[in-house]
Amino acid sequence: LSSGEPNDAAGRTRPHVMFVPSAGMGHLLPFFRFIGALSSHDVDISIVTVLPTVSAAEAEHFDGLFKDFPTIRRIDFHLLPLDASAFPGADPFVLRWEALRRSVHLLGPLIAGIIPRVTAIVTDVTMVSHVNPIAKEIDIQCHVLFISCATMMSLLTYFPIYLDKKEAQADIGDVDIPGVRRIARTSLPQPLLDLNKLFTKQFIENGREIAKTDGILINTFDALEPVALAALRDGTVVPGLPPVFAVGHLSSLAGEMKAEAEDTALAWLRQQPAHSVVYVAFGNRSAVSHEQIREIAKGLEASGCRFLWVLKTTVVDRDDVAGVRDVLGDGFLERVHGRGMVTKAWVNQEEVLKHPAVGLFLSHSGWNSVTEAAAAGLPLLAWPRGGDHRVAATVVVSSGLGVWMEHWSWDGEDWLVSGEEIGEIVKEMMADAAVRERAAKVGDEATKAVAVGGTSHKSMLDFVAKLNTI
């Protein structure tokens, strides 16, 4: 037991959890959702907040969170300046991760000034190698809230060992994760093939540090990734990992919903027949080339299905100025009038996926999207883009949630996926009752997992119990 001032009427030390999130909606949303879930337990919560955020969507969601949960403390954190010219071409979000990592030493003094005393930190994987040592120095718990799948966590923790075992001169090949699965070289996050990349250096350092933390929270559930979770927990992947709490699916918060009148996408969906709409979205920061966008348009038109398409053409939403019409080319919107809706707005994806009109999700298989489809029991057609998407796509297939077009690639390579092929597979999946049934089963498991007594519900209680060991 470490010392702590009693901070409630009963003279007990209540846990005080300080969240240190990262940047990008794919990282922030699961943090906000987890914080929402944790706030119903008997704990104090603070969030380290860096302003301005990289994207407008992040700023809006921070505002919403603090409005909805007035007892959660906002702790402003000022980053040290980072010379972006030292990282030519780096993604703005990866740059923010690096700026965060380089400023993290300021957290120690910051925490020392906070009352009631902070008893645990929950941080993002992109920062854990810097945050965990600080937590250890001041003798508080440090947990990671992992925003990808358990399979990706197994790759993250095993990758440094894989490198240690590999002959120094040999290239990175397929990575056979003990007890989990072999991840083909082409399915690895591609920066990992280059050990000199900033992303790879962070990935290796973070991967080694995980074992020294106090707990790993993952937005997944046992029935979705039974094999990976078992192998993480029983030491097959890496011996000596801390407890793994599978607490997903993390549901969206009330504040994420737009007012009904503002939500044109949902309003449109309400007018469509059951299982008639393909929902198309590739995450909050996946810009797609104009050529590929036009092939997707052709495919959707050829499929004959109704569709709702969230279109993004830039990495950061504030830069997105091109009109939908300019990108799609002349006549498309007129031709699909009445059966297709294309929007550049932020939609409430979780609501969309749960809507009975939606029959299929064409997705880049970002992990949040996968868990949201799983919770909705909606079939997913995975067209992974980069990062961890192919690893997530292996889970889409193994869980029965959907289909992965392994040979489909994205721009940056010198070929496009043709509209014809897109149209055919969309049509096929929309008509396939077996596909729908398998996904619905995953949905049932998701519901059970978070219900009282379910695996994720129990994991959440175990985590809170761990927080109370102060």
Interface ranges with ligand UDP (CB under 6 A): 24-26, 29, 93, 125-126, 147-148, 152, 156, 189, 202-203, 206, 283-286, 310, 346-350, 366-369, 372, 386-388
Q: How far apart are CA 453 and CA 450, in angstroms?
A: 8
What is the nearest approach in angstroms of ligand UDP to the Cβ of residue 345? 7
What is the nearest approach in angstroms of ligand UDP to the Cβ of residue 470? 28
What is the nearest approach in angstroms of ligand UDP to the Cβ of residue 349? 3
What is the nearest approach in angstroms of ligand UDP to the Cβ of residue 206? 4
Q: Of 156 and 439, which has the nearer Cβ to ligand UDP?
A: 156
Give the bridge partners for 360, in sequence order: 278
Cα distances from 147 to residues 193, 218, 246, 374, 459, in angstroms, run 22, 7, 11, 15, 16
Listing DSSP states for 63-94 in one string gives HHHHHH-TTSEEEE-PPPP--GGGSTT--HHH
361 contacts 369 by C-beta, under 8 angstroms = yes
Q: How far apart are CA 32 and CA 382, in angstroms?
A: 25
Q: How far apart are CA 16 and CA 100, in angstroms?
A: 22
What is the nearest approach in angstroms of ligand UDP to the Cβ of residue 112? 27
Q: How far apart are CA 397 and CA 451, in angstroms?
A: 25
Looking at residue 258, the DSSP 8-state letter turns out to be P
Q: How far apart are CA 429 and CA 402, in angstroms?
A: 9
Question: In this structure, what token pair is assigned to residue 171?
Answer: 């290239």
Question: In this structure, what token pair is assigned to residue 450?
Answer: 């978070």
Q: How far apart are CA 191 and CA 462, in angstroms?
A: 35
What is the nearest approach in angstroms of ligand UDP to the Cβ of residue 312? 8
Q: Of 118 and 246, which has the nearer Cβ to ligand UDP?
A: 246
Count CA atoms within 13 Å of residue 40 on its CB side.
8
Give just the sign of the alpha carbon dihedral 261, 266, 269, 274.
Answer: negative
Q: Of 44 and 317, which has the nearer Cβ to ligand UDP?
A: 317
Q: Which residue is nearest to ligand UDP (CB)?
A: 387
Catalytic residues, by residue number, are: 27, 124
Q: Of 60 and 406, which has the nearer Cβ to ligand UDP?
A: 60
